[in-house]
Amino acid sequence: MAGDEWCNAPPSDHNDKQKSYFRNEVAHLRTICMLVLTLLCQRAHSETIPVTTANDSGPGSLRAALTQAAANGSADWDLVSFNLPGAPPDWVIFLLSALPAVSAKVVIDGTTQPGVLNPGPNARISLVRSSTDFFHGLFLNGCRNVEIYGMIFQNFKSGPTRFGGICLKNAYEVVIGKPGGENVFINNGVGIYSSEDFGDTGANIKIAANYVGVTADGAAASPNQSGIDLSWLENVVIGGADPREGNIVCGNTVIGIGCGGFTGINLVENNLVGVSRDGTRTYPVDKATGIFVSGAATFNIVKNTVGVQEKGILLQNVSKPFRVQRNHIGTGPSENEPLGNKLYGIQVLNCPTGVIGGPLPADKNVITNNDYAIYLELDVSRVTITLNSIFCNKKDAIVFNRALTVPPLVTLDRITATGASGTYQPGALIELFYDDNCPNCEGKTYIATATADAAGRWSYTGALTGSLLATGTVNGSTSAFSKPTFVVSSAQIGPAYCNGSTGFIRNITATGATQFEWRNALNEIVATSLALENAPAGTYYLRAGQPGGCLLETQRFVIDQKVISYEISGTNIVPASCFKNNGQVVITAFKSDTPLSYKWLNSAGAQVGTGRDLKDVAAGEYTLVCGNMNGCENVAGKFTVPQAGALDISLANIVKEVSCEGNVSLRGIRVSGGGTPYSYAWKNEAGATIGTAADLPPSPPGAYFLTVTDTYDCTASSGEIRLTGNDGAGIKVPNNFTPNGDGINDTWNITGVQFYPSGSFKLFNRYGEQVFSSKGYATPFNGTLNGKPLPVGTYYYLIKLSSCPPLTGRVTIMR
């Protein structure tokens, strides 16, 4: 049956059609294998050509043997056998140049070398490139019926073009390796290679039991760039039905097993990729693909173990039906081996038709420990995923990315201990699974299959003992597992403040879920609502689903501990004044966040304020406690509100000045205490304000009163200040004095000058030269100039008293 016929079959017939299709396919594969076996059984060697020297060339060399085989023609088989001298370390042929191409009907059998080997592959003869030139180890070009056993191929590096241990070009009926006749390929450009040139072909190739990329003893990887990398071939078997025929393909850096542009029916079976035969060693390669296939061919990938690659199995642009069945991907036979592939267990890229799994429970693939179990892209419209065991993959089980069609998820309406029911598309096959114990809702254990009726309703009756999930298949297209979906991109996370339980996680959207569990790092349930509220600092995740169904887990969220300590960076303290409760502490700035709550305490611990600023308090000690209303509080500062000093007016240094008009002014009043700036008010006896400065302006003789007010609005009064006048002639200027040091009349004593502190006093000799000058007359003139006595004689004075007319006259210095 053709693949399209199978895919277009009614859903109810899928199992029978699938069994029939693959029975025919297996029969074809068996025909290929029987053909190869028949060739092996029918051949009779017309000549055995021994290789007796490890020399690159000359009699008895491998080069000579291949030349002889080619000369014998293709009518009969030739056996190239080996009998090199020495022990196993001597059985190495260092090639300085390319060997002749292998001709038809040739068996190259390294197992004919006599001697004892250590346990392991029976590869006895080593071919090693020992040249700066690039070439293949063995080149099968345009030949048929070639077998190669018991050889080690090493150092056949790729140069500008690709080279390998064995290269096939238009080669047919070729067998490379068998149990007991294993080949080893290490440190080559490609282990086994076929020409990539379009138009080159080949068919009926079997590659079995070889060690590719790992040393003969299996102790370490010795990688090829690619292990088995074949192109444009038809009807190829890599591995075989006997587990011993599986190739050990490990450590290769790009591709483990590659089948590009194939046609016909091809089988990849029982190979071990990334792991030793006994499963005790792994050979991780982060950027490699374990098994790659493409082409207009049918591929059967069965019973392989594939692990520790970037991608386990990649099917790309396979246009005919494929089958991936009975493989262990990301684990081994016990299903406990940690062999996860970095990205995908299976990636299906633009392959319209195929089956992953099979109609029998034994056909299941076990897929675990990868990032994604099955990753489907572009045209995957008839890919059936059935009866597999998928569990504990890190990110998801079945993912459609850029797919042309994405099947909807099955709806589970009712789940009880005795059955389940739901809806999907009419005629769909509904496979029910038990969930695994990991976070992503994956179908680990198959339970049963139900069929949706014409209305899309389906039901299952039977005991259910675990969390349930389902897939649906219509027209060969299988959905992902039913599960809730989350949108966490808008999640809001609030911190827990100061060891409190104020944290929260909000704004997560969950679809297909009615049951919610928030769990902490100890896996304890801490909440059962969609949003997590009132939580302490820690790590949390949400599990959501429906009763009896799987619970999907979100990523881990972290609620941080946030300790806030408020610190003040600027204040303005106003003292208490006038012995009143009018002191203040004004907070001008914070170094930290601005608090949301304030508490002012006095020295006795009593609360006296709840605002940012403290106002209207007596002098004393005060403490500010700041908080955020979420449990954080700290002492932000301690402050002293001083008592401003009493306001005082001092008249001790007052200076009175009388004008020529008889008006009196005062200056030199001193104010202390209180707070600056001060304001002044001079009033006369009638209560009228006559001045607002510290000095009394010129005023008539009488009683005056000064009131001073400080910045805190405290006041002080001078009391009555009575002023007497002067008629302007009140000063008396003597006309002589005797500065002779006898203590009598030694200075020019002018009386009444204290009323004219701004007056100008000058004295000139008879030549008009100034010998004395003073503003005010605080210190009387003593008859000297620059510390030296002036001569006896007459001198002339000029006295100016405020706005009065100048006074002039003579004064005589006598000795």
Q: What CATH number does residue 103 fall under?
A: 2.160.20
Please provide the distance, in angstroms rounded to a whole number, between the alpha carbons at the two ends of the chain. Answer: 157
Same domain, 125 and 230: yes
Same domain, 696 and 740: no
For the stretch 643-653, pLDDT in tens is: 988 889 998 88
Distance (Å, whole) CA 305 – CA 338: 12
For the stretch 316-334, pLDDT in tens is: 999 999 999 999 999 999 9
6: region left, alpha or beta (phi > 0 left; psi from -120 to 50 alpha): alpha
Same domain, 154 and 78: yes
Say yes or no to pLDDT of 26 above 80: no
Distance (Å, whole) CA 473 – CA 450: 11
Of the three residues 641, 656, 679, the one that is the final residue of a domain is 641
Work out the pLDDT band at 15, boundaries 50, 70, 90: very low
* Residue 303 falls inside a structural domain: yes
Write the DSSP string, 662-709. Answer: S-EEEE--EEESS-SSPEEEEEETT--EEE-SSSEEEE-SEEEEEEEE
What is the Cβ-side half-sphere exposure of residue 562, based on CA atoms within 13 angstroms?
21
Type of residue numbered 26: V
Same domain, 153 and 214: yes
What Å distances lie between residue 544 and 436, 439, 464, 505, 528, CA to CA?
Answer: 15, 10, 20, 15, 9
CATH number at residue 495: 2.60.40
Entry field: residues in the chain: 815
Distance (Å, whole) CA 288 – CA 251: 9
Give the H/E segment covering residue 397.
strand 396-401
Say yes or no to pLDDT of 730 above 80: no
Q: What is the mean pLDDT of residues 11-18?
A: 45
Say yes or no to pLDDT of 14 above 60: no
Is pTM beyond 0.85? Reply is: no
Residue 336 tokens read as: 């406990």
For the stretch 763-773, pLDDT in tens is: 999 999 999 99
| Beta carbons of 580 and 549 less than 8 angstroms apart | no
For the stretch 521-565, pLDDT in tens is: 999 999 999 999 999 999 999 999 988 888 888 999 999 999 889
* Residue 442 falls inside a structural domain: no
Same domain, 652 and 593: no
Of the three residues 641, 661, 688, the one that is the final residue of a domain is 641
**Which of 81-90, 353-362, 550-559 is predicted least confidently?**
550-559
**Which of 97-106, 155-164, 359-368 is predicted least confidently?**
155-164
* Residue 120 falls inside a structural domain: yes
Same domain, 748 and 712: no
* Residue 477 falls inside a structural domain: no
| Beta carbons of 117 and 98 less than 8 angstroms apart | no
Helix (H, G, I), strand (E, B) or coil at 537: coil
* Residue 456 falls inside a structural domain: no
* Residue 384 falls inside a structural domain: yes
Distance (Å, whole) CA 640 – CA 344: 70
- Decide the pairing of beta strands 457-461 and 419-423: antiparallel
Same domain, 213 and 188: yes
Distance (Å, whole) CA 31 – CA 807: 151
DSSP β-bridge partners for residue 472: 430
Beta strands in 92-182 (DSSP E): 92-95, 106-109, 125-129, 138-141, 144-149, 151-154, 164-169, 171-176
Same domain, 589 and 530: no
Same domain, 261 and 303: no
Rg for the chain, CA atoms, rounded: 55
How many C-beta neighbours within 10 Å does residue 523 have?
A: 9
Closest CA to 201 of 233, 178, 164: 233
* Residue 25 falls inside a structural domain: no
Same domain, 668 and 717: yes
For the stretch 673-688, pLDDT in tens is: 888 899 999 999 999 9
Say yes or no to pLDDT of 712 above 70: yes
Q: Which residue has the tokens 């969390």?
A: 467
Of the three residues 532, 562, 592, the one that is the final residue of a domain is 562
How many C-beta neighbours within 10 Å does residue 771 have?
A: 18
Same domain, 80 and 224: yes
Question: Structural domain tally of the chain?
Answer: 6
Same domain, 582 and 700: no
Close Cβ partners of 773 (under 8 Å, ≥ 6 residues apart): 760, 761, 762, 763
* pLDDT at 42 (0 to 100): 47
Say yes or no to pLDDT of 22 above 70: no
Helix (H, G, I), strand (E, B) or coil at 115: coil
Close Cβ partners of 167 (under 8 Å, ≥ 6 residues apart): 136, 138, 139, 140, 141, 190, 193, 194, 195
* pLDDT at 626 (0 to 100): 94
* pLDDT at 427 (0 to 100): 97
Query: Residue 119 sits in which domain range?
Result: 51-270
* Residue 284 falls inside a structural domain: no
